[in-house]
């Protein structure tokens, strides 16, 4: 079947671009709604007829609103594809450890919003610690991991980061920025 996999892009570090210079803190996203996903999959020689890719918006995950989380969840729900990858910023992708308390933070996250829909689909969220345009980026690895998980895992919402694939509610982002399994 054609286009069995849907890849939704939402910005995050995955697609950030920084101007050249030292100590740059400002960033932009690519013009023309062109995600790094397109180039990564071209280099990986993934058959174009095997997936559809849609740009939903480009936002740093710390600025994603509940309305934008609903856009992502609604698109997952309305998709004809049953296997979906979402590229997303890592700060609000799933639960995270609060650096001040060391406990799981009770902040809004996109994985929980999607999971609340109880879709009979496999949805995998992934992101990056370094933008795709940087040489030492983890985007290619994380995207490949997420695609593999989306194609093989049973229905549910998953996180694919740092070589880890697990249900969203069993994963946290740590204070140092890596992802790990977490049991309450």
Which active-site residues does the annotation give? 13
Give the angle 51-131-81 at the CA atoms, nearest 5°. 20
Q: Is 90 annotated as a binding residue?
A: yes
CA-to-CA dists, residue 141 to 14, 51, 118, 132, 136, angstroms: 12, 18, 28, 11, 11
| Residues 5, 161: Cα–Cα separation, whole Å | 19
Environment class of 4 (CB within 10 Å of its CB; exposed 0-12, middle 13-18, buried 19+): middle
Q: Whose CA is closest to 182, among 129, 111, 85?
A: 111
Q: Which H or E element spans position 139?
A: helix 139-152
Whether 87 and 35 have beta carbons less than 8 Å apart is answered as: yes
Question: Residue ranges for the binding site?
Answer: 61, 90-91
Question: Residue ranges for the binding site for substrate?
Answer: 61, 90-91
């Amino acid at each position: 079947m054609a286009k069995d996999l849907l890849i939704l892009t939402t910005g995050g570090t995955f697609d950030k671009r920084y101007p050249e210079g030292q100590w740059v803190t400002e960033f932009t996203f690519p013009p023309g709604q062109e995600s790094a996903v397109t180039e990564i999959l071209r280099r990986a020689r993934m058959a174009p007829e095997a997936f559809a890719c849609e740009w939903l918006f480009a936002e740093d995950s710390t600025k994603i609103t509940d309305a934008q989380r609903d856009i992502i969840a609604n698109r997952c729900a309305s998709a004809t594809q049953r296997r979906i990858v979402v590229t997303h910023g890592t700060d609000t992708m799933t639960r995270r450890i609060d650096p001040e308390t060391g406990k799981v933070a009770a902040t809004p996250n996109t994985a929980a919003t999607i999971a609340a829909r109880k879709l009979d689909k496999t949805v995998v969220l992934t992101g990056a610690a370094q933008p795709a345009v940087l040489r030492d980026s983890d985007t290619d690895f994380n995207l490949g991991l997420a695609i593999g998980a989306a194609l093989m895992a049973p229905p549910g919402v998953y996180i694919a980061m740092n070589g880890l694939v697990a249900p969203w509610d069993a994963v946290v982002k740590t204070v140092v920025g890596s992802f790990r399994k977490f049991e309450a």
